[in-house]
A and B are shown apart, each in its own frame.
Chain A
Amino acid sequence: MDISTQNTEAPPPAPQPTTGETKRAARGATRPGDRIFLGLSRGSGILLLVIMAAIAVFLTYRATLAIGKDHGNFLTTFEWNTNLNPPVFGIAVLAFGTVVSSIIAMIIAVPIAVAIALFLTHYAPRRMSGPIAYVIDLLAAVPSIVYGLWGALVLVPNLGGVFSWLNDYLGWTGIFSWEGGAPRSMLTVGILLAIMILPIITNVSREVFRQVPRMHEEAALALGATRWEVIRMAVLPFGRSGVISASMLGLGRALGETMAVATVLSPDFLIHASLLNPGGGTFAQNIASKFSEATEDGRDALIASGLVLFVITLLVNGAARMIIARRKEYSGANA
């Protein structure tokens, strides 16, 4: 810099050999070790892409085999009889059950999870909030089969009272009517899924609420807002997209949950108007419970239903990631 200001006319002779040297050095840097290492790490990245592609390709291949043999309509048949010759099966009941149980789970879990996240960031005494957050972290790691066992042996026997109460007061709606069977229904599944996805939604929401600029909150307080008004005007608007993506991550978990549903639900292949009467099914639950008795055609049919589940979860997760990515862009300015 100094040289150029002192003497702008004369071109400095030094740079010429330096660029030549850097070029040689750059070429020299791709020694065998470097090339191998780059190859290995890039290869792993490519391998991940190949695995994703292979999942889609192989599932589609086996699914087309199965759907070709299907004598029902794959989308509308209310039956799953793959041992018949020719097999008859359709995903209508499974799609309905998967969507309904996940929606119930979301309706229960999202408000409670957001409230817990607010509790941890804004209400709980600071000494308490650390350990509680830690415990919730650990609960997210409890295996789903343990939730399933607990759901089947503890939750189900304790839901009878709630179900009869719902039937007494809300039975007239049809949605909450109950014929007194074991409480192993879509509502039970929804409640259990809600408990399972609660820690995930809470964790992500908590992180988002923690990033709310302190200035926004203090400005609201300075204007005389109560704590609730601070939350409504400063915290929730800032965290909205984060909460949405957290909920969608939870939704993805709920859609694909297998063992907890398989242990709790007593399935059949009908769509019930009532959420309290046992019956229905979900994609993942159907795969787990029909697998052991399935022949090769039956397994292909299950793979076909798994492909539908795969596509649904891809869409949900992709959407969630896009919302998060968009959030990152504008939150950088606020940080």
Chain B
Amino acid sequence: MSHAAVADKRPSTLRGASLPKWTPWAVALGSIAVACGIGAAAGLSSHVQWGVIAALLFLIGTYVVAAQVEGRRQAKDRIATSLVWVAFLLAVIPLVSLVWTTVARGVKVLDIYFLTHSMGIVADSQPGGGIYHAILGSLEQVGLATVIGAPIGVLTAIYLVEYGRGRLAQAVTFFVDVMTGIPSIVAGLFILSLMLIFKMQPFGFAGSLALAILMMPVVVRSTEEMLKLVPNELREASLALGVPKWRTILKVVLPTSIGGITTGVMLAIARIAGETAPVLLLVFGNRFINANPFEGAQQSLPLYIYQQYANSAGANAAYDRAWAASLTLIAFVMILNLVARGIARWKAPKTGR
């Protein structure tokens, strides 16, 4: 940040009156000492309160000192800087805690046995059991959803970029945007209303349909962006050679942007793999291994986490399994994310810019 350096130096050269660099540390130390004094004197038991008092003292101290030496405007600038740092640190705490807890408590029961066994003969309150049935169900449901959602999404994006003119394209663009915001449970309820009409029992493929609905708008959006990056000269060169438009799209446009499209699809998969609500309504959950997504209730990883938490009445074994399943799910999603970004960087279309 070059201009930041300029802003810092300028008062010292032009105005003279500026605080030395160690001032914030000195103020921080002083306010911590005073806060400890106040805390001990008033008998406040919670150390969080000590910390809050210290932070407040630091802000007031900085403002007063800076206002005395550098003027009110510099003082305000220092306050803003501190507040921005505080906001950042405040947000980091829960996020670090989330990742740390999941990893620390997840590794306890996560082993090969856990990954290769189901909950068939294990009660929720007992230790043992595993997530094999959940992984299997998740893979099948997400796989089927991808088979349905990804082609429709990519084709829609092709329509919008290569053919789309006029009212229909505008309507599709707007509703794709709106569709991105549909709560997952509403997509679940939509399929549920169909199942109620046709008097069907829960099964894996119903969940796939809801997940496909959630996936389509994400794929359309990312594919659209990628197709727009393909230089028009490539299309024109191909068309000028007399290649029909559909072959131009298949042989020139898609291969050029395939990396980006793959990335988009993988990010969409990562998103739907963690969806619980529609699976809860449509797939229902199952303690046993059911490899057939077209008949009978199945399990899925996010749903497994929820059921281990909700149905176990506080048994520690169940919580351990829930954390281990969470770690598996997060690892799956993160790996998909990282690989997708890797592909995006590796296969980025060479636009010459």
Contacts and interface: CB of A to CB of B under 8 A. Distances in A.
Contacts of B246: 33-34, 36-38
Nearest to A226: B77
B160 to A, nearest CB: 7
Given A51-B213, A55-B213, A287-B281, 11 more contacts: A34-B245, A41-B163, A45-B164, A48-B175, A48-B216, A119-B88, A145-B329, A227-B81, A256-B184, A284-B183, A288-B185
Contact of A59 (B48, B158, B190): B190
A184 interface: no
The 9 closest A-B pairs by CB, nearest first: A256-B183, A143-B274, A317-B181, A115-B87, A37-B246, A41-B159, A226-B77, A44-B155, A228-B80
Contacts of A288: 185, 277, 280
Contact of B3 (A218, A255, A300): A218
A299 interface: yes
Nearest to A296: B196
A284 B162 contact: no
Nearest to A312: B183
Contacts of A24: none
A270 interface: no
Contacts of A267: none
B288 to A, nearest CB: 18
A246 B59 CA distance: 29
A61 B270 CA distance: 33
B180 A119 contact: no
B282 to A, nearest CB: 10
Contacts of A115: 83-84, 87-88
B178 interface: yes
25 contacts: A41-B163, A43-B155, A44-B151, A44-B155, A45-B168, A46-B168, A58-B197, A59-B189, A119-B88, A123-B81, A143-B329, A146-B305, A148-B306, A150-B102, A154-B97, A221-B6, A227-B81, A228-B80, A252-B181, A255-B183, A256-B184, A258-B185, A262-B306, A313-B182, A317-B177
A112 B87 CA distance: 5
Q: Is the interface of A mostly helix, strand, loop or mixed?
A: helix
Interface string A56-82: 001101100000000000000000000
Contact of B76 (A58, A116, A228): A228
Contacts of A152: 309
Interface stretch (B114-122, B330-338, B342-350): B330-338
Interface string B171-208: 11011111111111111011011101100000000000
Nearest to A258: B277
Contact of B326 (A54, A119, A146, A303): A146
B300 to A, nearest CB: 10
Contacts of A238: none
A195 B95 contact: yes
A310 to B, nearest CB: 5
A226 B302 contact: no
A197 B310 CA distance: 24
B186 A146 contact: no
B192 A299 contact: yes
Contacts of B270: 141
Interface in A108-142: 111-113, 115-116, 118-119, 122-126, 135, 137-139, 141-142
A221 B168 CA distance: 47
Interface in A216-273: 217-218, 221, 224, 226-229, 231, 249, 252, 255-259, 262-263
Contacts of A142: 98, 274, 330, 333
A111 B189 contact: no
Contacts, number: 270
Nearest to B88: A119
B199 to A, nearest CB: 9
Interface in A285-335: 287-288, 291, 296, 299-300, 302-303, 306, 309-310, 313-314, 316-318, 320-321
A311 B93 CA distance: 35
B310 A310 contact: no
Interface of A: 29, 31, 33-34, 36-38, 40-49, 51-52, 54-55, 58-59, 61-62, 111-113, 115-116, 118-119, 122-126, 135, 137-139, 141-150, 152-155, 161-162, 165, 195, 198, 217-218, 221, 224, 226-229, 231, 249, 252, 255-259, 262-263, 284, 287-288, 291, 296, 299-300, 302-303, 306, 309-310, 313-314, 316-318, 320-321
B196 A299 contact: yes
A303 B159 contact: no
Nearest to A214: B3
B58 interface: no
Indicate the member of A37, A126, A154 with the most B CB atoms within 10 Å. A37
A287 B334 contact: no
Contact of B189 (A139, A306, A320): A306
Nearest to A318: B178
A332 B272 CA distance: 34
A139 B95 contact: yes
A149 B322 contact: yes
A152 B322 CA distance: 12
Contact of A226 (B76, B276, B322): B76
A51 B217 CA distance: 11
A143 B185 contact: no
A303 B189 contact: yes
B169 interface: yes
B83 to A, nearest CB: 7
A262 to B, nearest CB: 8
Given A138-B334, A296-B196, A150 B101 contact: yes
B148 to A, nearest CB: 11
